[in-house]
Amino acid sequence: MLVCCYSYQEFYPFLMTQYKDHPYLEFPSFDKTVDDFFSSIGSQKLDVKALNQEKSALKKLENVKKDHEKRIQQLQSAQEADVRKAQLIEINLDLVDRAILVVNSAIANQIDWSEILNLVKEAQIQGDPVASAIRELKLQTNHITMLLRYVSLASINGRPVRVDIDLLAHLNARRFEKFLWFISSENYVVIGGRDQQQNELVVKRHLQPGNATCNTIFSQATLICSYQSQLSTTAINHSYQSQLSITVSKTAPTGEYLTTGSFMIRGKKNFLPPCHLIMGFSFLFRV
């Protein structure tokens, strides 16, 4: 009588002592043993290979999930940090405006950057509150870093906040300047993407129920307001569609495909009359 181990690892003409306590199979002949062993060992290798491939795919999927979760956490952390910085600027509006004014005045007087830094350090030694709040000057990028506090207590450490000296304090606190934007005569904030990627951000992060949208069939136009670089100042603008009761969706009709920054807009449309694109501007000189 021939014996074949149940694990299909080896086969022997008789049951060895070391395998008595292990599962095994007995076959009536040597031919049957060899035939079953080698036919099964091939399928086992395929099963093991498939199992390893499945484990590898699951491991890759798990790594991708962890990577996406990590990125989401990083984006959420960055968003929360931006909100905190904006809140700090809003709480310290006067201090930030005074710091911006001091630095811009020094630059306007053509004082050397290194000398401006020395002036700030001297004022800090004298206990000047504005200078004491300035942590770093990055004039090559028109930025300064300030230490701002939620409460006006010297015992509480401030948090570093980057401030653009080309903008007033309340504009530094706003978070929509990265888009095309303006404030309408009815005091509404109107924003639009500078490119197709920003169109995606406008819709996914900022479009809320009750918001009005404005779009056109003109190529490269934004969803909220027209993409100005695509329009001629001497031509009459294309008709725009204003929607109030709408549904904005990324689901395209059957057989069609929506590219980045494109959306399906369904609902009642109100066509706005064509208008001339005229912009006025002026210069303010301060002595």
- Tens of pLDDT, residues 28-69: 887 777 777 777 777 777 777 888 888 889 999 899 889 888
pLDDT at 242 over 70: no
pLDDT bin (cut points 50, 70, 90) of residue 133 is very high
Q: What is the dihedral of CA 244, 247, 250, 251, to 10 degrees?
A: -150
Phi and psi (nearest 5°) for 259? -80, 175
Q: What is the mean pLDDT of residues 247-273?
A: 71
Report d(CA 72, CA 80) in Å as an integer. Answer: 12
Domain boundaries defined on the chain? 89-174, 178-266
Q: What is the pLDDT of residues 209-231, one digit of tens each?
A: 667 777 665 554 444 443 333 33
Q: Looking at residue 104, what is its pLDDT?
A: 92
Q: Specify the pLDDT at position 35.
A: 76
Q: Are 11 and 4 a contacting pair, CB within 8 Å? A: yes
Residue 258 has pLDDT above 80, yes or no: no
Distances (CA, A) of 59 to 49, 62, 71, 154, 199: 15, 5, 18, 51, 35
pLDDT digits (tens, 9 = 90+) for 10-20: 777 777 777 77
Non-local CB neighbours of 166 within 8 Å, separated by 6+ positions: 142
Mean pLDDT in residue range 244-269: 68
For residue 156, the model assigns a pLDDT of 60
- Give the strand pairing for 240-249 and 264-272: antiparallel
Highest mean pLDDT among 147-151, 152-156, 239-243, 253-257: 147-151
86 Cβ partners below 8 Å, 6+ apart?
172, 173, 174, 175
Question: What pLDDT digit, counting tens, does each position of 67-95 carry?
Answer: 888 888 887 887 788 888 888 888 888 99
pLDDT at 261: 65
Closest alpha carbon to 113 in 139, 145, 141: 139
